[in-house]
Amino acid sequence: MTQVPQHIALIMDGNRRWARQHKLVALKGHEYVSNQMIEPLAEQCIKRGVKYLTLWAFSTENWQREKTEVEGLMQIFRTGLQRNGEKLHKMGIRLKAIGDLGHFPQDIQDGMAHWIKETEKNDRLTITFALNYGGRDEILRAVHKLVQDYSIEQLRQKPLTQEEFSKYLDTAGTPDPDLIIRPGGELRLSGYLPWQGVYAELYFTEVLMPDFTKDELDKAIEEFARRKRNFGK
């Protein structure tokens, strides 16, 4: 039987290049992924027995893009939340979010909160959207939360364990990723889940995200099954 990752984390890269290749404006690449890719990838995860899928949709650095692109992305998030929220809920999928969502327009924050609450009892698959997410930012925010609960003296007397620190991360309660996939040809993680992904297998592909079909996901899972994981032992 093929070894299947319990948790796949995906860096959704290559949307703008795909749009340029198809002589479209950049936003059409993002829109295509939102409208056409999430549901089939979720279906394939369920079919293969994957229990957690984390999708990096917007990084802390993405605010630096052209104002028109950022505004367009916000609109895609609005329409995508409603469309995908309803579809994924009907599929029995739970939705979660990580990242500093407080920087998003209030209606997007409210929409995400609605679907997190609405789907909290679903258990076929958990999809986590990484929104305004950066690995260093997450760790820094975790430290800020931690120092509200512990004094310096307490930490001197009883140093924190890795397990205790993990409870302050956005991903608390979610298993660490077994497989991190990056479409788009770049050979780096760009700060994606640096704490959680220390023992994740990495899979890079030249295929751009809008072309990352069910078959491409299967290729990544099959490659994962061929890897020998020893977790540093």
Known catalytic residues are 13, 62
- Residues 6 or more apart whose CB falls under 8 angstroms from that of 192 comprise 9, 11, 56, 130, 133, 135, 180
Which tokens in the block code for residue 207? Answer: 């295929």
CA angle at residue 181 from 125 to 101, to 5 degrees?
Answer: 65
SS3 181: strand
Which tokens in the block code for residue 163? Answer: 């397990």
The structure tokens 């959704």 sit at 12
DSSP 160: P
